[in-house]
Structure 1
Amino acid sequence: MTLPEQIVTAQGTAAGLTAHLRVLATTDLHAHLLPYDYYTDKRDSSVGLAQLGELVAAARAASQNILLLDNGDTLQGAPLADAAVAEIVPAGRLHPMIAAMNALGFDAATLGNHDFDFGLGHLKASLKGAKFPVVSANVDSTDGTPFVPKRCILTRQVTDSLGGVQSLKIGITGAVPPQVAMWNKPHLHGLMTFTDIVSAVRAEVAALRSEGADIVLVLAHSGYGSLNAGPGAENVALQVAQIEGVDGVVAGHTHKLRAEPTKPGAPIVQPGAFGSHLGCIDLVIGQADTDKGWSVRQTQATNFATTQRRALGAIPVRRMLNDYPKLRFAVAREHDATRSFVARPLGATAVPLETFFSVIAPCAATQVIADAQWEAARPLIAANRALNGLPVLSAVAPFKAGGRSGPRSYTDVPVGPLRLRHAADLYLYPNMLSVLRVTGQGVRDWLERSASLFHQIHTDRDAPQQLIDHEFAPYNFDRLAGLRYQIDVSRPARTNAEGDVVHDTPGRIHALTLADGTPLAPDDEVAVITNSYRSAGGGHMRAAQAAEEAIVAQFSVRDAVARYISDSDGPIRPIVEPTFSFSPLGGVDVVFETGSEALKHPGRAAELGLAALQATTTPDAFQPFAMHL
């Protein structure tokens, strides 16, 4: 990995003594260690820390002054994480991600919100084996003690522009969205407190500077956000970059890919998710006067795609692992253990369970989740007097349906045997089952947030318009099984894609009734089965957050799905409810984009009135279909 030309130039021309520090960063790895998709049991060259390790090795071969950092959401997400919870960590072995990070020589890391998903016991056991500091400025136990150190200073020897060796003190702090207290309430309530990111980081940056840090870097497990976001906001990386004394920021959490100089302010890099990219911040630091210490002269932020690794001089994973014999053995062992873990049989399905069309019509994949939630919640609701007699709805969303996760992110389970990996594919997160008491108005507001997935379609335009806003995360597209309603996409959306901006619009939801045709009035009440993330307002679902939480189960929705499949008498045959449809717009042409593998389901496309446009030539591009509204 050669240095960018402007950085090389800066090193040669800056007045006084200079040095080049290359900060490499990963974020949102979500337990993707190897280039492998355990859901389909096939190799996937687009993901994996191991492939980023190739880039790290190439960078170290090209530059002497390298720092390697991780920005959180590392220990949860892929089946490897589930196997680690169930079998690997309890057996006393290192979490596979921690073992790999130790071997690759990570210098420091922070925590992400999903790192708390399996509870504090598992998180503490996993971090215990880390040979690098893990810091967070805004996470404390309720007794006031920091959960992990709030900051650290790394002393590194760097080679300067004259070939000499200089001692550099690098301050590191990090932070996680304070909303994790709500999202993981079943695990964290009464045990942990989470404070505002910006104020917590500001305090730690000042402390690092007073302790002699020459350079200060912030691992902000937070999206870019805006400069106007108020205290306690979820996405504030832009604000963090403006804090005096910050020299570089690694952003994350929203899985986006960005790299910007952010002037005025510190450079920011956000390297996607799952190991798709390696973030890089190049800093040219200068020392015009040895008594005044180092200062940043020039910066550049870049993302290197894992697909670039050969062009950048990286060696293949297998050859790289030869230099880490213990890691190679551990990786092979845990890889085999994970494949065996997720291969456990559950049952069978008589119909395909795919999510290629889930955002434009109810589907079998989400119906299985709805049915499993109904079955699991039935005895709990029967025992709860406050819910007796209320209509019961089941809120479900397609976790893998494109959006900002890209055109590869879809579920596609064929007819036949169902294994544990298929249940995990249908329901990615270990969210606990929850039941809310919601008003009719709350239900309407809930659906309006979901309906923000669609672009506004203008009926007076001749050219086909794009229907789907790919900035919207599909796991926030809830449909409430047990209802019937129409979505009018000719009207403006109630929120932006993130849900953090609410617009005053007339609304898109029409003809809202219960399944039996009874209109749902604003003052009516229903019971809604959902998950702990949504009940806490996750996805900016304010209606869910404002509702009364009547039940918090002691089991996850994913466990309920697995149990539903295994308890079924023969192959499952979900009867898909016609929950929602689009309001007719008189034959307006739109373009619906989905994953390219949707072409393998022509019957489903024809059933929905879709006509495939020119076939995409790469799985990294969305496949367009013509659609009439």
Structure 2
Amino acid sequence: MSPRRLPLTILAASLLAGCASHAVKPNPLLQDGARANVAILETTDIHANVLSYDYYKLKPDDSLGYERTATLVRRARAEFPNTFLFDSGDTIQGSVLADYQALVKPVGCDQELAIYKAMDTLGYDGGTAGNHEFNYGLGFLSQVTGTPMNVDGGHANQCAGPHFPLVLSNVDSARNGQPIFKPWAVVTKTIEAYTQDGSKVSVPLKVGIIGFTPPPIMQWDKQNLAGKVTVSGVVEAAQKYLPELEAQHPDLIVAILHGGLDTAPYTPQMENGGWYLAGMKGIDVLLLGHSHTEFPGPHYAGMKDVDARLGFVRNVPAVMGGFFGKDLGVIQLVLNRQNGRWVVDLDNTHSEVRPICPQKNQCVPVDPEIAPLVQQAHEAAIAYVNTPIGNSTLRLSSYFSDEGNMTALAAVNAAQADYVRSELPRLHPELRDVPVLSAAAAFRSGFGGPDDYTDVAPGPLTLRSAADLYFYPNTLAAVKIDGAGLKAWLEQSAERFHSIDPSKADAQELINDHVPGFNFDQIQGGIHYVIDVSKPVGQRITSLTYHGKRVTPNQSFIVVTNNYRASGGGNFPGLDGKNIVLSAPDGTREILAKWLEQHRTIGAKDLEPTSWKFARLKTHGPVVFKGASDKQALAHEAGLDDIQQLKDHGDGTATYAIDFSH
């Protein structure tokens, strides 16, 4: 029987087989009945947001930044006598500062990354690598983590890195089959405990840590990893290395997973395998990440065997501490001494996520030690992004990108398409006459809050403008597909929207937040299509034409996208890396910056109009969505006259209504 078809209970049992509970050597200082309180603190998905600063708007942003998370860490340490601090990955990539230190003026072997300098001030006890750690290549990762790697392109020298162990159990070198990081480590700290009679004693607590990253990195960073490393599933890696870790007799084992929770049938390629890791015998605590959400929290309410209020996954205490330095994850463990070992008291243990801004404009102060450590790199990054590259007569914005404002995406699509139309005939003369389309998605569409949008004002353009228009350090790729594949691509993108029932009188939410904005690809290049949100998923593209003629299933197209999507990122049908016809050595952001510079001044004549629209639909009740407040005029400026603001929530966000009847 295929594991995919096993009932979850049977599959879980099969996965647990062979993982014995870790035995602990007796501690003569403690008798049964002793008790200890231990707080496990977690950061995750910091994405090199060291300071509370927006490099795109060139102004402070109090809603994010590790320098404020650090304040929460210090407060937690003052509150709890015993703490351990871990990081769940996606640490070194994701900000202008990160790109500057990796791509513009790479740090030397003797230099520590700004984010690691900041983290070292707090004394972390361990961490793991997320998928974005691999974005800059294995050589850079090897260097900045201080980890010599026996891989093609790896760094053989011991360079400056973080002052805490990084563990990763499911990525091996293709050369020798050995893990590129240590798969596990044991951290021992002295804690305060209380005997049964109330006496305070100081005793060592041994905590074993084991790390995991999402297996799909082999698709997402194929150009950096193919032929250099191999990746295993998180359960398979746990089955292999947990016995080794248990043989060290730790008091607790903490699994540090850069991944979230998914109860779908397990496969070794599962992106968010936390639910299955929690079922592995021997794991006492689970740290999560990658999903850019908070756990415990309402997003996970109703999930099987998950307590989304107190923070348990299959009776294992767990936490996911947000992203961008906006939160700190805290697990308050109560340990009881039973049969000569520490046991987690589940009835008195709980998790929580502590935000740096409990309310709008009420954020904790910055930790004053952080900014001076990174000031030089911070100022250099600002100077870099202010390099002029051209002008624009248009406002290029991702406000209302889900509703049809393609001004920001049109610039990306134009640059991508021009690049491929120039390069492809030289590499593949036989494809010279195949139409070239381009796909782009809004990376910043409000997920991170009311300021999380691309917004380039008319006037001078700088490298900051290009970074705002294209957030990630992807490279450009082009794929060859047919008309059926094009429609399937658009159908999956249209899953960004909920199904709308025209007969309902109650308000209906338009946007499906379970489909991230970066998976809503909008394609241009002479095509036009209609999205009917009243239709079932997979049947929403009701009209698809190329230069006014219906696209046929066998019609050939070249679609320009990025390496992530072309190699299978997002699991779009037909995109698995096998139909790539061009893999550019150049980054998409650099291609865009050069295109803007070559055009000197861009206007409406340089950008293709919006290529899609919603089908006309008369609904009995309102169709609503959330966005940044007071932007209705911008919607109308973009030609979206059917959008009206209904309610300003007073926190920078508002509820809007969209009328499909016109």
**What TM-score does the superposition give when structure 2 sets the normalisation length?**
0.86
> Structure 1 residue 379: deviation in Å?
2.2
In structure 2, which of residues 329, 335, 342 is the aligned counterpart of residue 279 of structure 1? 329
In structure 2, relative to structure 1, the CA distance for the partners of 1:181 and 1:547 (3 Å cut) is closer
User: Which residue pairs with 1:237 in the alignment?
Assistant: 274
In structure 2, relative to structure 1, the CA distance for the partners of 1:96 and 1:295 (3 Å cut) is same
In structure 2, relative to structure 1, the CA distance for the partners of 1:577 and 1:90 (3 Å cut) is farther
> Structure 1 residue 605: deviation in Å?
6.3
Deviations 1:550-602 (A, max 9, x none): 11110111111111111113344443323111111236642233222524626
In structure 1, which of residues 537, 545, 559 is the aligned counterpart of residue 568 of structure 2? 537
**1: distance between equivalents of 2:417 and 2:639?**
30
Tell me, yes or no, if the aligned pair for 2:170 and 2:213 is still in contact at 8 Å: yes
> Structure 1 residue 453: deviation in Å?
0.6
In structure 1, which of residues 37, 40, 47 is the aligned counterpart of residue 54 of structure 2? 37
**1: distance between equivalents of 2:502 and 2:136?**
48
User: Which residue pairs with 1:134 in the alignment?
Assistant: 166
User: Which residue pairs with 2:84 in the alignment?
Assistant: 67
**1: distance between equivalents of 2:277 and 2:95?**
30
User: Which residue pairs with 1:10 in the alignment?
Assistant: none
**1: distance between equivalents of 2:413 and 2:313?**
48
Tell me, yes or no, if the aligned pair for 1:362 and 1:579 is still in contact at 8 Å: no
In structure 2, relative to structure 1, the CA distance for the partners of 1:231 and 1:622 (3 Å cut) is farther
Deviations 1:434-493 (A, max 9, x none): 010101111111111100011111121233322111232111111110211111110122
In the alignment, structure 1 residue 618 sits paired with structure 2 residue 651: yes
Q: How many residues of Structure 1 are paired with residues of Structure 2 in the alignment?
A: 592
In structure 2, relative to structure 1, the CA distance for the partners of 1:484 and 1:125 (3 Å cut) is same
Partner amino acid for 1:391? Answer: P
User: Which residue pairs with 1:3 in the alignment?
Assistant: none
User: Which residue pairs with 1:477 in the alignment?
Assistant: 520
In structure 2, which of residues 332, 353, 375 is the aligned counterpart of residue 332 of structure 1? 375
**2: distance between equivalents of 1:40 and 1:112?**
27
User: Which residue pairs with 2:614 in the alignment?
Assistant: 582
**1: distance between equivalents of 2:264 and 2:510?**
30
User: Which residue pairs with 2:320 in the alignment?
Assistant: 270
SS of the equivalent of 2:144 reads helix
Tell me, yes or no, if the aligned pair for 2:50 and 2:65 is still in contact at 8 Å: yes
Tell me, yes or no, if the aligned pair for 2:395 and 2:455 is still in contact at 8 Å: yes
Pairs within 5 Å for 1:345-364: 345-364=388-407
In structure 2, relative to structure 1, the CA distance for the partners of 1:91 and 1:623 (3 Å cut) is farther
Pairs within 5 Å for 1:175-190: 175-190=212-227
In the alignment, structure 1 residue 525 sits paired with structure 2 residue 576: no
**2: distance between equivalents of 1:62 and 1:48?**
22
SS of the equivalent of 1:529 reads strand
SS of the equivalent of 1:130 reads coil
In the alignment, structure 1 residue 389 sits paired with structure 2 residue 426: no
SS of the equivalent of 1:592 reads strand
Tell me, yes or no, if the aligned pair for 2:211 and 2:256 is still in contact at 8 Å: yes
SS of the equivalent of 1:267 reads strand
**2: distance between equivalents of 1:480 and 1:119?**
29
Deviations 1:402-424 (A, max 9, x none): 2x434432111111111111111
User: Which residue pairs with 1:9 in the alignment?
Assistant: none
**1: distance between equivalents of 2:640 and 2:361?**
44
Tell me, yes or no, if the aligned pair for 1:348 and 1:572 is still in contact at 8 Å: no
Partner amino acid for 2:569? Answer: G
User: Which residue pairs with 1:551 in the alignment?
Assistant: 582
Tell me, yes or no, if the aligned pair for 1:613 and 1:626 is still in contact at 8 Å: no
Any unmatched runs of 5+ in structure 1?
1-13, 495-506
User: Which residue pairs with 2:151 in the alignment?
Assistant: none
In structure 2, relative to structure 1, the CA distance for the partners of 1:484 and 1:602 (3 Å cut) is closer
Tell me, yes or no, if the aligned pair for 1:225 and 1:236 is still in contact at 8 Å: yes
Partner amino acid for 2:656? Answer: P
User: Which residue pairs with 1:497 in the alignment?
Assistant: none
In the alignment, structure 1 residue 191 sits paired with structure 2 residue 228: yes
**2: distance between equivalents of 1:437 and 1:602?**
34
Worse overlay, 444-453 or 541-550: 541-550
Partner amino acid for 1:485? Answer: Y
SS of the equivalent of 2:472 reads coil
Tell me, yes or no, if the aligned pair for 2:109 and 2:144 is still in contact at 8 Å: no
**2: distance between equivalents of 1:604 and 1:211?**
65
**2: distance between equivalents of 1:546 and 1:333?**
40
SS of the equivalent of 2:410 reads helix
Deviations 1:190-209 (A, max 9, x none): 11111101221233223211
In structure 2, which of residues 350, 354, 358 is the aligned counterpart of residue 304 of structure 1? 354
User: Which residue pairs with 1:513 in the alignment?
Assistant: 545
Partner amino acid for 1:511? Answer: S
**What TM-score does the superposition give when structure 1 sets the normalisation length?**
0.90
In the alignment, structure 1 residue 106 sits paired with structure 2 residue 124: yes
User: Which residue pairs with 1:452 in the alignment?
Assistant: 495
**2: distance between equivalents of 1:356 and 1:328?**
31
**2: distance between equivalents of 1:137 and 1:54?**
31
> Structure 1 residue 380: deviation in Å?
1.8
User: Which residue pairs with 1:203 in the alignment?
Assistant: 240
User: Which residue pairs with 1:213 in the alignment?
Assistant: 250
In structure 2, relative to structure 1, the CA distance for the partners of 1:315 and 1:368 (3 Å cut) is closer
Q: Percent identity at matched positions?
A: 32
Please report the RMSD computed on the Cα atoms of aligned residues, expressed in angstroms. 2.2
Tell me, yes or no, if the aligned pair for 1:89 and 1:125 is still in contact at 8 Å: no
> Structure 1 residue 345: deviation in Å?
1.2
In structure 2, which of residues 442, 458, 461 is the aligned counterpart of residue 398 of structure 1? 442
